[in-house]
Amino acid sequence: MTSAPHIPSRPHGWIIGPWVDSVFIANLFWPLLLLLQHEHGFEGRQAVEFWQIYFITTPHRWITMVLVLLDHRYYRQQSRAFLWIAVLVVGVCAGVRVLTGTLTCLLAVDYVWNAWHFASQHHGIYRIYTRVNRNFPASTLALQMQKWFLRGFLLYVTLRVATSTFADIAIEEVTMQLDWWVMLMPAYLLMSEFRTSNHNSLGRRLYLISVLGIYSSLLWSVHTHRGALTLILATASAWFHASEYMSVIGWHIQKRATTGDDVPLLAWLASRWIVAMLVFVVVLGSCSWVLEHQFLETWLTINVIIAFLHYGYDGFIWKSRRVTGGVGRPVQQVST
């Protein structure tokens, strides 16, 4: 059996550590992405979108497939479900592509499913912070309010971006009024956070402020009809989502390798995770760019399939068994 790698102890209240959490999970630098795209105009926006699409978003979806292949625990737990999801997704996507010649309806499904996936993941990571600093809400009601206010707000904003493209005055009037009421959700979450947080809650607090900050800005840009800013913020939010996911996956694999289970390749990768991740991102991102320019429709179809598998498998992975956040300390799922 391959010996488990040594994982440095984690500072209290952080998933990995203050600097890594701040940069790659809380993504506190996201305003810099706005400045880069704004100050350098179209070229700056193209540069950020290039790195975000090929080297952040695409790898973060494919890495779920790698996780399933490397850690057979997930497949063994619900092998039929994993197989049926794969058969269903591949069959539906291939069927739609052959019968209609386009992926328009699948891309619409992808947007809605992805909106829920974003909201669930952000809430899941917030729950990880809650468990690593052992700072739980005082009641079950407060816990549920945190869950649905955070998910509900993020989901509303993502769908609101889509409705901004509708040329329907009635819908616009309703959503313009609803925007103000929806802002009560982040207001409650922030008040609750500052009221209940302790000296170990800095990581969670920074994460919540960062998430609510970028989504509140996105809602404001839609509400005030600032289309260019909406695109910039949407790109930044996608970067945020993928970056935190890959960081938590790395943390999870390292934790998994310390459990003593006989997964030699997983343990080997865990001890070389940064190098392995860089190689994975560079190779997949480069191949993605080449394939998209050579086989656009085929590569787009494959990526839609991978996206759906990512959403579906992600829910099973994080629900199938709670992630271990330290010795004997269960951590809430990252996504549902």
The DSSP call for residue 322 is P
Assess contact for 235 and 45: CB atoms under 8 A: yes
Assess contact for 214 and 233: CB atoms under 8 A: yes
* pLDDT at position 294: 86
Determine the Cα–Cα distance for residues 168 and 171; give it in Å rounded to an integer.
Answer: 5
The more confident residue out of 175 and 270 is: 175
The more confident residue out of 90 and 38 is: 90
pLDDT band of residue 324 (cuts 50, 70, 90) is very low
Determine the Cα–Cα distance for residues 67 and 318; give it in Å rounded to an integer.
Answer: 12
Q: Does the pLDDT of residue 214 top 50, yes or no? A: yes
* pLDDT at position 150: 98
The more confident residue out of 330 and 98 is: 98
* pLDDT at position 198: 76
Determine the Cα–Cα distance for residues 44 and 212; give it in Å rounded to an integer.
Answer: 25
SS (H, E, C) 69-116: HHCHHHHHHCHHHHHHHHHHHHHHHHHHHHHHCCCHHHHHHHHHHHHH
pTM: 0.85
Q: What is the CA radius of gyration of the chain?
A: 20
Q: Where are the domains of the chain?
A: 18-331
CB-count burial class (<10 Å; 0-12, 13-18, 19+) for 140: exposed
Q: Does the pLDDT of residue 312 top 80, yes or no? A: yes
310, two tokens? 């990512």
| Amino acid occupying residue 209 | I
pLDDT band of residue 3 (cuts 50, 70, 90) is very low
The DSSP call for residue 54 is I
Q: Does the pLDDT of residue 71 top 80, yes or no? A: no
Q: Does the pLDDT of residue 9 top 70, yes or no? A: no
* pLDDT at position 41: 53
* pLDDT at position 331: 43
Task: Please state which of the ranges 176-180, 230-234, 322-326 shows the lowest mean pLDDT.
Answer: 322-326
Q: Does the pLDDT of residue 222 top 60, yes or no? A: yes
The more confident residue out of 129 and 10 is: 129
- For residue range 73-126, list pLDDT tens digits in order: 776 777 788 889 999 999 999 999 999 888 889 999 999 999 999 999 999 999
Number of Cβ atoms within 10 Å of the Cβ of 154: 26
